[in-house]
Structure 1
Amino acid sequence: MKELEQFIENFAKQFNDINPSEINAKTKFKELEEWGSIGALLTIVMVDDVYQKNINGDDIRNAETIEDLFQVINSR
């Protein structure tokens, strides 16, 4: 699960007001106050930069939790 913990940390770094210790794998990221279209774009860029994988808006729309998003990335 170390990879998932690292993904959560990388996800949180995209937002100024999210502390990685305040979110976990089951966090419904779209319910976060900081989430929005810019957050989605930042996440897509982070996944490309850090994981060298491509995700799109549909991937984000179909994911509910941070772990769901992590699983999408791992499936690529």
Structure 2
Amino acid sequence: MAWVTTSELVAEMVANVLRVEVEEGDAVAIGDTVVLLESMKMEIPIIAEVAGTVSAIKVSAGDVVQEGDVLVELTNR
């Protein structure tokens, strides 16, 4: 029996979504940039902290996100 877990990547501050670097179904490794945010003229990469497969993308380029908003969900086994 394989255990499946889901990890959520969240915004750490209010920001604009510049780019989503992945698509649903993509495999990501630890350290991969999945979303690029912009706040106060600074670019903030959102990095995968676990390896897995992108199971859901909750934002699009141009969106404004709030602190704690889920950006991407990863599923890993």
In the superposition, the TM-score normalised over structure 2's length comes to 0.28
More strand by share: 2
TM-score, normalising length: structure 1: 0.29
Q: Which has the higher contact order (CA 8 A, sep 6+)?
A: 2
Larger helix percent: 1
Computing the radius of gyration from Cα coordinates, the structure with the larger value is 2
